[in-house]
């Protein structure tokens, strides 16, 4: 839910900021500032409550959509009454201006590190040390916790409101990452009174910022797809995401926090670690629920073994357990030695690394055409799981690690993350090892594979490559591209699986008999799909160029290219230099376009498209390049405009290449809402169509 809600909130916020959906209160006439204040307070309380249910109790009471509605309503009200915005409002998680550098923060008491134990004997030695210091006659217990593998942070709450958040740094001084921490939804912006009954006047809490494995994998996939270097592990991903000068980058990363301790506290007293771990959640500060109490060394060892066995089942990485003497009085007696407390121990798990031999390096092609080198290895068991393949990410990574076929390598498995080659055991080299070179052709379809300037990943340029065909057809049929209504992902997958569609051109050769062969396809649906396909045959140059799915050529750039070149022939014939001369086209995009049209496979698909009846109309108008600015767009006007008559506004957009319509549909690109808009506005909202105020419209048409 976290990601989904974040996306929705961001969307909602953008919409409000754009002024696109206006700030008119839901149905009400207008409200007084006092009424707004009351509603804002109620909304904030409610949102805080639901955050607590979701993040701390792990037991949400409302759906994501309902939660989003509350947030959106709050955003709307705060937009209307900016004076009522407070720093602890749930809307204030993003939006700070990027920093030039992080400010330093001195921790009021040092953030200590932990001494380590690497096996059970070392845990026994620690316990013996502690027992000797405490005195054999006195009994005590440990609190045992997972050792979270992330980044340590400290957050200061003054009178219950988050004031400063910092990284651990060297333990004495850290970096001020307040704005970034505020974007993490499991970090409360204000505390609840909790079981103490009142919010402490000052509370410094310490915890670990982490990224769950699934989120980490997804983030890395996205990074690899976009040519950015992947993070080596979830810890690096968490650290890299938190230490961003632009907090909106942090906001887009799926970070979470678990708290495990306190620094200074005023207005609250804690007698033990157990009291901390049970009090923090009541204040809204989430702790890892997997902690345990151990009355003896044996129980501590049992906890250590239990957590090691559980390690793979957790959705986040832990690299050991932390044993802490529970009683704070005893902790103080035991004291600290060289920056590590004598009362705590990090008992690390055995490393999940093994050595094995690289038998081959093969290339996998992803669904967007990315070529990924993969090491095929002699199977080896790492922590109970047999590993025989490991990703090498891209050519740069292979070169950096200098992995060769025949090498003995160290392989690492982290949670359920794809195994990775960590390093090469160069001492085992015989001289017969073979270097890997990324092929310049796609191993799946034989099309040219191109590594664009400034990118780390090579990609297949073939638009009919089986590895990326599903994505390519889906994109081709999408609304802003060829707009083939009714041709959804499932049908596309079936058409490809049945061998009826081997490239987008085959869509135009389908007949009813073909479609009826597909599972769950009725006459009516088949007819509708065929009619949509037929309708899409006649299209504009900008839509067509966009539909081809050329890397880096999005909706906007397609229109720029269409307006500049006017015809497909001219665009296809343009060389890199000519392409680079187009405003907004840089060397990377020029290379991408040129290599796309240079690929024979693509030329064949284009020819087949035309042979199957696709017709592309040119877009250049007599007025020159700007004339096509809104080419292919569709507008609907509703309500009264102040600066134009409806007719004038329509002519304006038509002159720029757009169409106008009186009905809002999923094909509508913009609804321009004037004064007293009618039901069209509601319809546009429900369809998610972009809504423009008159001011925004004026800006758009220039
Ligand atoms: S307590 C003196 N508890 O381990 C106590 N630390 O080497 C200091 N860590 O930088 C920390 N999980 O990032 C504590 N449950 C936990 C922890 C934990 C992970 C990390 C923390 C710290 C490092 C100490």
User: Which pLDDT tens digit goes with each residue over 29-54?
Assistant: 568 999 999 999 999 999 999 999 99
Nearest CA to ligand 1 atom 16: 147
DSSP structural state of residue 176: B
Q: Is 148 in the pocket of ligand 1 (CB under 6 A)?
A: yes
Mean pLDDT (the chain) is 90
Which phi and psi angles does 389 have, rounded to 5°?
Answer: -135, 145
Q: According to the model, what pLDDT value does residue 619 have?
A: 63
Q: According to the model, what pLDDT value does residue 25 have?
A: 44
* Extended strands (E) in 310-414: 318-325, 336-337, 340-341, 344-348, 353-365, 370-382, 385-391, 408-412
- Which atom of ligand 1 sits closest to the CA of residue 261? 1
Domains of the chain, residue spans: 2-93, 116-348, 353-435, 449-620, 624-701
Separation of 127 CA from ligand 1 center, angstroms?
A: 18
The CATH code that applies to domain 624-701 is 3.40.50.10190
Q: Is 114 in the pocket of ligand 1 (CB under 6 A)?
A: yes
pLDDT for residue 18 is more than 50: no
Instruction: Find how far residue 351's CA is from the centre of its chain.
Output: 29
Range in 46-50, 390-394, 628-632 with the lowest mean pLDDT: 628-632
Separation of 257 CA from ligand 1 center, angstroms?
A: 13
Sign for the CA dihedral angle at 20, 25, 31, 34 comes to: negative
Answer for the pair 218, 264: CB distance below 8 angstroms, yes or no.
no
Separation of 113 CA from ligand 1 center, angstroms?
A: 7
Separation of 273 CA from ligand 1 center, angstroms?
A: 13
Q: Is 174 in the pocket of ligand 1 (CB under 6 A)?
A: no
Nearest CA to ligand 1 atom 18: 147
Residue given tokens 């199977």 in the structure block = 379
The 10 Å Cβ neighbour count of residue 538 is 11
pLDDT for residue 2 is more than 70: no
Class of domain 2-93: mainly alpha
Q: Is 317 in the pocket of ligand 1 (CB under 6 A)?
A: no
Separation of 11 CA from ligand 1 center, angstroms?
A: 36
What are the structure tokens assigned to 552, written together? 């880096």
HSE, side-chain direction, 13 A CA sphere, residue 516? 7
pLDDT tens track for 264-281: 999 999 999 999 999 999
pLDDT tens track for 121-152: 999 999 999 999 999 899 999 999 999 999 99
Separation of 170 CA from ligand 1 center, angstroms?
A: 13
The fold of 449-620 is DNA polymerase; domain 1 (1.10.150)
Q: Is 346 in the pocket of ligand 1 (CB under 6 A)?
A: yes
What are the structure tokens assigned to 220, written together? 């890395």
pLDDT tens track for 105-114: 999 999 999 9
Mutation choice for ligand 1 from 150, 151, 152, CB with most ligand atoms inside 8 A: 152
pLDDT for residue 92 is more than 50: yes
Q: Is 173 in the pocket of ligand 1 (CB under 6 A)?
A: no
In the chain, the percentage of residues whose pLDDT exceeds 90 is 75
Q: Is 457 in the pocket of ligand 1 (CB under 6 A)?
A: no
Task: Tell me whether residue 59 is exposed, middle or buried, using C-beta atoms within 10 angstroms of its C-beta: 0 to 12, 13 to 18, 19 or more.
Answer: exposed
Burial 416-451 (b: 16+ CB within 10 A, else e): ebebbbeebeeeeeeeebeebebeeebebbebbbbb
pLDDT for residue 699 is more than 90: no
Query: What value does the mean pLDDT take over residues 208-231?
Result: 88
pLDDT for residue 394 is more than 70: yes
Q: According to the model, what pLDDT value does residue 113 have?
A: 94
What are the structure tokens assigned to 60, written together? 């949400």
Mutation choice for ligand 1 from 174, 260, 321, CB with most ligand atoms inside 8 A: 260
Q: Is 261 in the pocket of ligand 1 (CB under 6 A)?
A: yes
- Which atom of ligand 1 sits closest to the CA of residue 340? 2
DSSP structural state of residue 644: S
Which phi and psi angles does 57 have, rounded to 5°?
Answer: -85, -15
Answer for the pair 566, 618: CB distance below 8 angstroms, yes or no.
yes
Q: According to the model, what pLDDT value does residue 109 have?
A: 93
- Which atom of ligand 1 sits closest to the CA of residue 291? 15
Q: What is the pTM of this model?
A: 0.66
Q: Pick the residue with more confidence: 387 or 6?
A: 387
pLDDT band at 666 (very low <50, low <70, confident <90, very high): confident
In the chain, the percentage of residues whose pLDDT exceeds 70 is 94
pLDDT band at 626 (very low <50, low <70, confident <90, very high): very low
Q: Is 322 in the pocket of ligand 1 (CB under 6 A)?
A: yes
What are the structure tokens assigned to 20, written together? 């696109």
Closest CA to 189 of 111, 83, 94: 94
The 10 Å Cβ neighbour count of residue 129 is 14
Mutation choice for ligand 1 from 111, 334, 346, CB with most ligand atoms inside 8 A: 346
Nearest CA to ligand 1 atom 21: 152
pLDDT tens track for 511-551: 999 999 999 999 999 999 999 999 999 999 999 999 999 99
Query: What value does the mean pLDDT take over residues 575-603?
Result: 95
Q: According to the model, what pLDDT value does residue 246 have?
A: 94
Q: According to the model, what pLDDT value does residue 628 have?
A: 63
Range in 8-22, 138-152, 401-415, 457-471 with the lowest mean pLDDT: 8-22
Q: Is 478 in the pocket of ligand 1 (CB under 6 A)?
A: no
Nearest CA to ligand 1 atom 3: 260
Answer for the pair 253, 211: CB distance below 8 angstroms, yes or no.
yes
Which phi and psi angles does 257 have, rounded to 5°?
Answer: -135, 145
pLDDT for residue 15 is more than 60: no
pLDDT tens track for 344-357: 999 999 878 899 99
Q: According to the model, what pLDDT value does residue 335 have?
A: 96
Answer for the pair 298, 123: CB distance below 8 angstroms, yes or no.
no
Q: According to the model, what pLDDT value does residue 6 have?
A: 34
Nearest CA to ligand 1 atom 10: 152
Domains 116-348 and 624-701 share a fold: no
Q: Is 145 in the pocket of ligand 1 (CB under 6 A)?
A: yes
Q: According to the model, what pLDDT value does residue 621 have?
A: 44
pLDDT band at 213 (very low <50, low <70, confident <90, very high): very high
- Which atom of ligand 1 sits closest to the CA of residue 168? 10
pLDDT for residue 662 is more than 90: no
User: Which residues have a Cβ under 8 Å from the Cβ of 332 and sit 6 or more positions away?
Assistant: none
Closest CA to 613 of 506, 527, 483, 472: 506
Catalytic residues: 147
Secondary structure element (H or E) that encloses residue 291, with its range: none
- Cα–Cα dist 576/597, whole Å: 11
Query: What value does the mean pLDDT take over residues 477-502?
Result: 95
Separation of 292 CA from ligand 1 center, angstroms?
A: 16
DSSP structural state of residue 97: P
- Which atom of ligand 1 sits closest to the CA of residue 111? 8
Q: What is the dihedral angle through the alpha carbons of 168, 171, 173, 177, rounded to the nearest 10 degrees?
A: 0
Query: What value does the mean pLDDT take over residues 323-332?
Result: 98
Q: Is 290 in the pocket of ligand 1 (CB under 6 A)?
A: no
Answer for the pair 347, 357: CB distance below 8 angstroms, yes or no.
no
Q: Is 323 in the pocket of ligand 1 (CB under 6 A)?
A: no
Query: What value does the mean pLDDT take over residues 591-605?
Result: 97
Q: Is 154 in the pocket of ligand 1 (CB under 6 A)?
A: no
Nearest CA to ligand 1 atom 2: 112
Mutation choice for ligand 1 from 116, 145, 208, 242, CB with most ligand atoms inside 8 A: 208
Q: According to the model, what pLDDT value does residue 27 have?
A: 43
Separation of 251 CA from ligand 1 center, angstroms?
A: 24
What single string gives the DSSP state of each residue in 499-538?
Answer: TS-SSGGGGGG--HHHHHTSTT--HHHHHHHHHHHHHHTE
Separation of 280 CA from ligand 1 center, angstroms?
A: 16
pLDDT for residue 17 is more than 50: no
Answer for the pair 450, 359: CB distance below 8 angstroms, yes or no.
no
User: Which residues have a Cβ under 8 Å from the Cβ of 639 and sit 6 or more positions away?
Assistant: 673, 674, 675, 676, 677, 678, 681
Separation of 136 CA from ligand 1 center, angstroms?
A: 27
Q: Is 318 in the pocket of ligand 1 (CB under 6 A)?
A: no
- Cα–Cα dist 697/690, whole Å: 11
Mean pLDDT is highest, among 410-414, 517-521, 596-600, for: 596-600
Q: According to the model, what pLDDT value does residue 104 have?
A: 96
pLDDT band at 21 (very low <50, low <70, confident <90, very high): very low
- Which atom of ligand 1 sits closest to the CA of residue 116? 7
CATH 3.30.470.30 for the 116-348 domain, yes or no: yes
**Residue 109 — left, alpha, or beta (φ > 0 → left; ψ -120 to 50 → alpha)?**
beta
Q: According to the model, what pLDDT value does residue 227 have?
A: 75
Q: Is 152 in the pocket of ligand 1 (CB under 6 A)?
A: yes
- Cα–Cα dist 635/624, whole Å: 22
Q: Is 526 in the pocket of ligand 1 (CB under 6 A)?
A: no
Secondary structure element (H or E) that encloses residue 361, with its range: strand 353-365
Q: Is 208 in the pocket of ligand 1 (CB under 6 A)?
A: yes
Query: What value does the mean pLDDT take over residues 453-460?
Result: 92
Nearest CA to ligand 1 atom 23: 113
Q: According to the model, what pLDDT value does residue 332 have?
A: 96
Q: According to the model, what pLDDT value does residue 629 have?
A: 73
Q: Which CATH number fits domain 353-435: 3.40.30.10, 3.30.2270.10, 2.40.50.140, 1.10.357.10?
A: 2.40.50.140
Separation of 662 CA from ligand 1 center, angstroms?
A: 63
- Cα–Cα dist 451/458, whole Å: 4
């Amino acid at each position: 839910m976290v990601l989904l809600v974040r996306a929705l909130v961001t969307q909602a916020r953008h919409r409000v900021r754009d002024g696109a959906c206006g700030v008119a209160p839901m149905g009400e006439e207008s409200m007084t500032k006092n009424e707004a204040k009351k509603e804002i307070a109620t909304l904030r309380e409610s949102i805080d409550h639901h955050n607590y249910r979701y993040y701390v109790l792990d037991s949400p009471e409302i759906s994501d959509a309902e939660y989003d509605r509350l947030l959106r309503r709050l955003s709307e009200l705060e937009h209307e009454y900016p004076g009522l915005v407070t720093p602890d409002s749930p809307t204030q998680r993003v939006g700070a201006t990027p920093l030039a550098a992080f400010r330093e923060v001195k921790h009021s008491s040092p953030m200590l590190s932990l001494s380590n134990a690497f096996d059970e004997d070392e845990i026994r030695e620690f316990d013996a040390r502690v027992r000797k210091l405490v005195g054999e006659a006195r009994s005590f217990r440990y609190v045992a916790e997972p050792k979270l593998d992330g980044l340590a942070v400290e957050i200061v709450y003054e009178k219950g409101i988050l004031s400063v958040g910092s990284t651990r740094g060297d333990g004495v001084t850290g970096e001020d990452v307040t704005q970034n921490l505020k974007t993490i939804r499991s970090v409360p912006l204000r505390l609840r009174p909790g079981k103490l009954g009142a919010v402490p006047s000052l509370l410094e809490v310490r915890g670990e910022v982490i990224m769950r494995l699934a989120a980490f994998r997804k983030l890395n996939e996205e990074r690899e797809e976009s040519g950015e270097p992947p993070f080596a592990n979830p810890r690096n991903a968490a650290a890299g995401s938190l230490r961003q000068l632009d907090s909106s980058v942090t906001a887009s990363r799926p970070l979470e926090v678990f708290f495990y301790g306190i620094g200074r506290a005023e207005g609250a007293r804690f007698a033990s670690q157990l009291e901390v771990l049970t009090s923090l959640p009541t204040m809204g500060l989430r702790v890892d629920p997997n902690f345990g109490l151990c009355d003896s060394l044996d129980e501590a060892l049992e906890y250590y073994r239990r957590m090691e066995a559980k390690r793979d089942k957790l959705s986040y990485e832990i690299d050991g357990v932390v044993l802490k003497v529970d009683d704070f009085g005893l902790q103080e007696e035991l004291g600290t030695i060289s920056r590590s407390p004598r009362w705590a121990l990090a008992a690390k798990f055995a490393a999940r690394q093994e050595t094995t031999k690289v038998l081959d390096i093969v290339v996998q092609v992803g669904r967007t055409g990315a070529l990924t080198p993969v090491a095929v290895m002699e199977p080896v068991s790492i922590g109970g799981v047999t590993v025989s393949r490991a990703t090498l990410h891209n050519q740069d990574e292979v070169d950096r690690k200098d992995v060769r076929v025949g090498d003995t390598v160290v392989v690492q498995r982290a949670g359920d993350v794809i195994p990775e080659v960590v390093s090469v055991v160069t001492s085992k080299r015989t001289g017969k090892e073979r270097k890997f070179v990324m092929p310049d052709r796609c191993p799946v379809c034989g099309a040219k594979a191109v590594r664009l300037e400034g990118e780390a990943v090579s990609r297949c340029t073939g638009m009919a490559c089986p590895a990326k065909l599903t994505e390519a057809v889906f994109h081709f049929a999408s609304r802003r591209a060829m707009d083939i209504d009714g041709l959804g992902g499932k049908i596309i997958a079936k058409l490809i699986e049945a061998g009826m569609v081997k490239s987008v051109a085959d869509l135009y050769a389908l007949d009813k008999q073909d479609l009826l062969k597909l599972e769950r396809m009725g006459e009516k649906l088949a007819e509708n799909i065929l009619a949509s396909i037929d309708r899409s045959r006649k299209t504009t140059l900008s839509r067509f160029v966009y539909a081809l799915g050329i890397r880096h050529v999005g909706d906007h750039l397609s229109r720029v290219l269409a307006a500049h070149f006017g015809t497909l022939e001219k665009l296809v014939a343009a060389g890199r230099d000519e392409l680079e001369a187009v405003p907004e086209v840089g060397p990377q995009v020029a290379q991408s376009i040129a290599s796309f049209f240079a690929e024979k496979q693509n030329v064949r698909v284009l020819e087949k498209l035309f042979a199957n009846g696709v017709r592309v109309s040119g877009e250049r108008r007599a007025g020159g390049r700007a004339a096509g600015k809104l080419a292919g767009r569709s507008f609907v006007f509703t309500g009264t405009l102040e600066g134009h008559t409806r007719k004038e506004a329509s002519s304006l957009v038509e002159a720029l290449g757009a169409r106008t319509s009186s009905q809002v549909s999923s094909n509508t690109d913009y609804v321009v809402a004037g004064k007293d808009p009618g039901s069209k506005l509601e319809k546009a909202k429900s369809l998610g169509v972009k809504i423009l105020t008159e001011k925004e419209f004026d800006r758009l048409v220039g």
